[in-house]
Chain A
Amino acid sequence: MVLVGRSWLLAVVAFLYLPIAVMIAMAFNASSLYALPIKPSLQWFVALAGDAPLLTATRNSLAIALFTSIVATLVGTLASIALSRQAFRGRSLLKALLLPPIAIPWLITGTAMLVFFFWTGIGRGLHAMMIGHVALAIPYVVLVVGTGMEAVRVDLEEAAMSLGSTPVHAFVAVTMPLLAPSIVAAGLFAFAVSLDQFVVSYFLSTPGVSTLPVEIYSSIRKGFTPEINAISAIFFGVSTLLVLLFAQLSNLGGNRGRR
């Protein structure tokens, strides 16, 4: 039984990682025709440095992801706090409305944004992508911070107030430190959501202004070069790091709050 379980798991993992492993291996192969055996070389990474459109797109992607991460985390965190600590009319409706966007296909969200931005005059470009990504990332932040908030029991704040804290001080001294890992995790998640976003970015990009995924896509259409493998390998590395950090932090937050 144990053996079957393990080989099954190995097969699943191989299925998940094999294409990526091949891609990464080829990024380090001198041959552009995927010839074996692999002749180790960094030439494709070096070539990246000279690819101006790709570098610009990378800079755009990072700028959008950073902006998205900061703004979505701020807005989403405040929303989570309001949802879990304040009693007001329509709260459960608002709470229910914050999550479905996660399940809406990006194609639909992207189309809606494109139409809406055109109609309102916001148009396309860097600013449009920033707004779009923030909107995409907020539900994830609400989800992550909301879960963290559940773990910080209300009676901790009440205990602080019984000891002389105003509600604001209780929040700053007790809730914030306990919530911090969740907030950082949400920020990372928002960053990753933005960095990996293709559909919405594709719709909102203009010929001069695109993001890394969009740029990769268009260069594939122009003709595949192993440079793509190199940039994708880097991309994969960064994304994996973010997700691992996220997993670490959200786990930490959970353990701490639970006591």
Chain B
Amino acid sequence: MVGVDVVSIVKDYGPARVLDGVSAAFEPGRFTSLLGPSGSGKTTLLRIIAGFVTPNAGTVSFGGVDVTGEPVWKRNVGMVFQSYALFPHMSVRDNIRFGLDRRGVRGEVANREVNRVLELVHLEGFDQRRPKELSGGQQQRVALARAIVTKPRVLLLDEPLSALDRRLRQGMQVELRRIQRESGLTTIFVTHDQEEALTLSDEVAILDRGRIVQHGSPTDIYERPRTRFAASFLGDANFFTGQVNAGAIEIGPYRLSTQDSLPAQGSAVTFAVRPEKMNFQAPRDGARPMNRFGATLREIIYAGATSTFLLADDSGSELKVFLQNRDMAWPSIGARVELSWSPSDTILVSE
């Protein structure tokens, strides 16, 4: 179990800079998601770590040893592809045995190892099947078994669940996490699905146009996004822009406070508030000072356990509020309401 470090990775394809100085530390045994929109460079970064792609600049090291110049077949990585890439002309057993064979592990020893991982992915008894005789979820698990049987230094997965339907996907997420915990592998998981990243990961690194804009625990990133992009890509957010005045943020007639440190008097600042942190009235105790902001209710989207409220502020921008359907005493559509939220949920973000 080793950690993976990438330092100042730059990758150009022709005139296009795909990765622009990416540095990140992937701690031993941790599950890190690389999250970002399509085209942000996730696959390229993963393929650089695997050794399929050579960066223009920067280094990749495994356990502190520089492997930038090593080709993929010498790096001892486990890779799961989006398409699974199972060898169609080999049985499940032969697929899994392939990597062992390359390492000179053969015969009974190899068979025992194959049986061990088949058990781990709950596919005992499927070893003589051809890949095409398996369901998508089962193929997925064979691909995983094949990648981990060699006890690789790092497990790399490129959107492995995106070909599965929603229900199967959720089941596989749980499985994947269990298998990762049991095998203790340092894991880097590429996804563009924010929910998947939040539920699966020890850590999330957010990529935006070839840069890692934030790297931290899921709660850290969700509760304290540092940029507008991070706040809007991971979950929903309401954005406000105002001016710093005497330790608070002024937007028209409203004065809003935050626990983040504010820039100089008179600067323009943007902050984000998560929709579920807002409410229509201040808590009854009234002890804590709350931020208040006027808006007009435009629409209510009822979804059983929760409802989403769409509002417009005085300048016409849309705001969103999520509430549990506990007492259902909602204002009516078109009503003027006052939103309130805590200063600690008022998060300064950079543009």
Contact = CB atoms under 8 A, between A and B. Distances in A.
Interface stretch (B82-90, B117-125, B194-202, B260-268): B82-90
Nearest to B146: A163
B132 A161 contact: no
A156 B150 contact: no
B131 interface: yes
5 cross-chain pairs, A with B, having the tightest CB-CB distances, nearest first: A164-B102, A163-B99, A159-B85, A162-B79, A155-B85
Contact of A162 (B77, B87, B103): B77
Interface string A140-177: 00000000000001011011111111100100011001
8 contacts: A156-B88, A158-B79, A162-B79, A163-B73, A163-B98, A164-B99, A164-B103, A177-B89
Contacts of A160: 87, 98
Contacts of B322: none
Interface in B117-155: 131-132, 146-147, 150
A123 interface: no
Interface band, chain A: 20 to 34
B83 A164 contact: no
Contacts of A159: 79, 81, 85-87, 146
B89 A161 contact: no
Contact of A158 (B81, B89, B132): B81
B78 interface: yes
B52 interface: yes
B56 to A, nearest CB: 17
Contact of B83 (A153, A169, A256): A153
A156 B87 contact: yes
Contact of B50 (A162, A177, A259): A162
B310 interface: no
A259 B73 contact: no
B99 A155 contact: no
Interface residues of B, number: 25
A257 B85 contact: no
Interface in B11-67: 50, 52
A156 B146 contact: no
Nearest to B96: A163
Contact of B85 (A158, A165, A169, A256): A158
Nearest to A155: B85
A165 B88 contact: no
A178 interface: yes
Contact of B102 (A165, A177, A256): A165
Nearest to A173: B98
A164 B146 CA distance: 12
B165 to A, nearest CB: 18
A259 B88 contact: yes
A236 to B, nearest CB: 35
A259 B86 CA distance: 9
Given A155-B83, A259-B131, A259-B132, A162 B88 contact: no
Contacts of B79: 158-159, 162
